Chains A and B, each alone.
Chain A
Amino acid sequence: MSTVGTKFDSAEDLRQYRAHLLAQYDPAARRVRVCLGTGCTAKGSAKVMERFCRAAEEFGQESLVVQAKSTGCHGFCERGPIVVVDPGNVFYENVNEEDVPEIWRESVIGGRVVERLLYKDEASGETATTPKEIPFYSAQQRIVLAHNGVIDPTSIEEYVAGGGYAALAKVLGSKASRMEPEEVIEEVARSGLRGRGGGGFLTGRKWRSARDAHGQPKYTIANGDEGDPGAFMDRSLMEGDPHAVLEGMIIGAYAIGSSRGYVYVRNEYPMAVKHLTMAINAAREFGLLGQNILGSGFSFDVRINRGAGAFVCGESTALMASLEGRVGEPRAKYIHTVESGLDGKPSLLNNVETWANVPPIILNGADWFASFGTEKSKGTKVFSLVGKVKNTGLVEVPMGMTLRQIIFDIGGGIPDGKAFKAVQTGGPSGGCIPAECLDEPVDFDRLAELGSMMGSGGMIVMDEDTCMVHVARYFVAFLKDESCGKCTPCREGIAQMLDILTRITKGEGREGDIDTLETLGTLLEDTALCALGKTAAYPVLSTLRCFRDEYQTHIREKRCPAKECPGLFQYQIDVDLCTGCGVCRKKCPVQAITGERKKPHTIDWKTCTGCGTCFDVCPFSAVVKV
């Protein structure tokens, strides 16, 4: 598509340009879409893409238009690399380089379906041709992720053709139809949108405060410092649909009267930085960023700052300190950042997913958005469904769907016939929710009532083999490393908790440890400076509430019921299953295993360090935990 030099002077220009793009679009053209999200790329999709591109180049028939293009993450990372062929929206999974010629010949050119690469339902054995027929997708409601996997994130033309920047055009419109900033804020407020980064604060209310705040310049910031381990929805959005984030920011900036914006992206996300940079440059070129946007007189520009590897910078005041070139230490929020944030100026900070919700709200209206979700949590939420679940990946569902629907209907349940034990939501500040609560609806308030939180949307499923004390210790160890050290309760309190939890998982727990953990946890909640410190004990407190007996067994019986804490259970070789192949003997790092060839081996408990290597390497599952 040749579009160089297009600069829009009005909303009408943009409309005409879109009409021009749509007129050029040939619905009969054969297109193959290859997912180049991080998940699929790790499984080799870049090479798949290369081969499709080569096939497209070499294709000589002029009567048929063929095109190979890359897209952002489809969400179903478990089955990657994912390739979709149009027309028909035919969905192929686990595609590797060798499959390319067959897909090209049969599906792209021939219009036939390559059966063996289709999704196959495990239970019924039936295959699905389009995503809609796959349970993983059919129960989802994609608003934020609508473009992901469909458009090429590096092409502004595709974003515009798909209805992109139409919300901005509606806001800035022609003189007669322009929305006043107050109207924009009212629309967002009426939609009931709440912050998707974790806090769940009403977005409209935040915007209004930022508009009412005194001082110039005002800053508009997108928080893309997705630090919660187990969450990657912001990454997929920034990589797969960067213009949606920008469009939301431009609308927000107009609403509050801001001329400068920042996107703060995690250092670990190089592709997000690349795609956002391309998006910003393209938007500038088209006159969607910069001076006098769409001839409205409104000017706004954005720059990207990369984080430098600090979890605490996901906290708003710490993020702003980092943008000022300082260490990322939070400050007390007696004065909100909407009044005094970056450089002491009014600053409106929203999470990446929150920003991406803005264009559809403006375009389709507050009532439309509010028709999804529950009474106080409107719209959809993207979750990263990961851990011990069959279908891992990104899912977007209406608020209010139950945990069971998400984990079992969409996620397909727990692999290897294991039992569900708990789901951890909300990242290190969240909590573990036990099986009894699987039928609870997921929204901001209900999760808080269950002692967890929405957080950024990580949903980590744990099965019966997961030790909850071990998990609690993991989170506390994470937070000890990431505590910025500014306030004493967080710096010292977390270290104390880690010390106690480490002892318990080593079988050195003492009576009274549980009480001390609870005291420390409550202390943190009451006295830590920032939200991260205040919630740091949640993983411990929530597991203590729901899995207290597991802590007690560790302390009193020096035993790990889930058989995960090394030293609190033993490895044994099942003589009936052992064939004497000797793999475990060779792999054991401390030579604790003895036995003659072709005869059952034994483990010497005194030498064994419980590292579990034998358990992992045994081809016959003859090593068991007792």
Chain B
Amino acid sequence: MTDTNEGTVATIIERYQGDSGMLIPMMQDIQTECGYLPQAELKELSSGLAVPLADVYSVATFYSSFRLMPKGDHTIQLCMGTVCFLKGAGKISEAIQREFQLVPGETSPDGKFTFSPVNCVGACALAPVMVVDGQYHGGLTVDSAVELLDKIAEGDKSTEDAQAGGGKKK
């Protein structure tokens, strides 16, 4: 996908009346549209706003919610806040990294999961917490976290199978 979505960036710039102070909201909108911040879009944004590309990239790399690579089918936000940490988020992190070949901040080799540990999702009463595709899962254990992701991966597989070959079972 090297083509830029014609007009996306222009529309976004217009949405904020070309105000370069709104650079961050514009980049958030691009990420919502594209799933990440593609190089071509950032270049277009830089020239459209007359903001040096270096500045655009400094913002893109400073803030942790911006991604420069496409994201996987599912986004995992594992809370690493103090309470989750006290209640074993570290072990959960190790286990899911091991089981699903995840690297913090990156997408798994099969493109299934993007793994982003976050500093606190603000649901401390439920610790340890993991947010998968916007859904909060609290009170996790190492086992239940792995199980949850297994189920999600399997769910995808069965839908794919169903679409590909009329629902044949493995």
Mask, A591-614, CB within 8 Å of B = 1, is 000000000000000000001110
**B48-96, CB < 8 A from A:** 51, 55, 58-59, 62-66, 77, 80-83, 85-88, 91, 94
Instruction: Assess the B123–A232 pair: CB atoms within 8 A.
Output: yes
A308 to B20, CA, bound (A): 16
A38, A424, A589 interface centre (most CB from chain B within 10 Å):
A38
Closest to A587 in B: B143
| A322 lies within 8 A of chain B by Cβ | yes
Which residues on B sit within 8 Å (CB–CB) of A266? 122
Give the complex CA separation of A308 and B59 in angstroms. 10
- The proximity string for A residues 493-518 relative to B, scoring 1 for CB distances below 8 Å and 0 otherwise, is 00000000000000000000000000
Question: Are A305 and B25 also in contact (CB < 8 A) when A229-B120, A482-B119 are?
Answer: yes
Q: How far is the CB of A249 from chain B (nearest CB, A)?
A: 20
Q: What B residues does A230 contact at CB under 8 A?
A: 81-83, 120, 124
Would you call A43 and B138 a contact (CB within 8 A)? yes
A41 contacts B124, CB within 8 Å? no
Taking a contact as CB atoms closer than 8 A, the residue among A42, A307, A325, A612 that contacts B59 in the complex is A325
**Complex CA–CA separation, A270 to B27 (angstroms):** 17
- Inter-chain contact B124/A386, CB cutoff 8 Å: yes
Return the chain A residue nearest B94 by Cβ: A611
Kindly state whether residue A365 has any CB partner on chain B within 8 Å.
Answer: no
User: Which residues 98-154 in B have Cβ within 8 Å of A in the complex?
Assistant: 98, 118-127, 129, 134-138, 141-143
Q: Which B residues touch A78, using CB under 8 A?
A: 125
Q: Is the CB of B142 within 8 A of A227?
A: no
- Tell me which residues across on chain B come within 8 A of A343, comparing CB atoms: 21
Min CB–CB distance A601 → chain B (angstroms)? 19
Instruction: Determine if A201 is an interface residue (Cβ-Cβ < 8 Å).
Output: no
For residue B28, CB closer than 8 A to chain A, the reply is yes
B118 to chain A, nearest CB (A): 6
Q: Is B12 an interface residue (CB 8 A)?
A: no
Closest to B19 in A: A325
Query: CB distance B21 to A270 under 8 Å?
Result: no
Q: Which residues of A contact B64 (CB under 8 A)?
A: 308-310
Contacts of A235 in B (CB 8 A): 122
Given contacts A230-B120, A589-B98, contact A325 B83 (CB under 8 A): no
Q: B40 an interface residue at 8 Å Cβ cutoff?
A: no
Q: How many angstroms from the CA of A589 to the CA of B136 in the assembled complex?
A: 28
Q: For residue A462, which residue of chain B has the nearest CB?
A: B86
Q: A325-B21, A611-B94, A616-B142 are in contact. Are A229 and B123 (CB under 8 A)?
A: no
B23 at the interface (CB under 8 A from A): yes
Set of chain B residues within 8 Å of A482, measured between Cβ atoms: 119
| Contact between chains at B122 and A38 (CB < 8 Å) | yes
Closest residue on chain B to residue A312 by CB atoms: B62
Q: How far is the CB of B58 from chain A (nearest CB, A)?
A: 5
A424 CA / B83 CA spacing, docked (Å): 10
B86 and A310 contact, CB distance less than 8 A: no
Query: Across the interface, do B24 and A268 meet the contact criterion of CB distance under 8 Å?
Result: no
- With both beta carbons as reference points, the residue of chain A lying nearest to B116 in the complex is identified as A309
Rounded to whole angstroms, the CA-CA distance of A338 and B118 in the bound complex is 32
Query: Residues on A close to B: CB < 8 A?
Result: 38-39, 41-43, 77-78, 80, 226-232, 235, 266-270, 305-311, 322-328, 343, 384, 386-388, 392-393, 424, 458, 460, 462, 466, 471, 474-475, 478, 481-482, 484, 589, 611-613, 616-617
B residues lining the A interface (CB < 8 Å): 20-25, 27-28, 51, 55, 58-59, 62-66, 77, 80-83, 85-88, 91, 94, 98, 118-127, 129, 134-138, 141-143
Could you list 10 further interchain pairs (A-B, Cβ under 8 angstroms) beyond the known A227-B120, A484-B62? A38-B123, A78-B125, A232-B120, A306-B24, A308-B59, A325-B51, A471-B86, A474-B82, A611-B91, A612-B91
Q: List 11 A-B contacts (CB under 8 A).
A: A39-B125, A230-B124, A268-B122, A306-B25, A308-B66, A327-B58, A386-B83, A387-B124, A458-B82, A475-B82, A482-B119
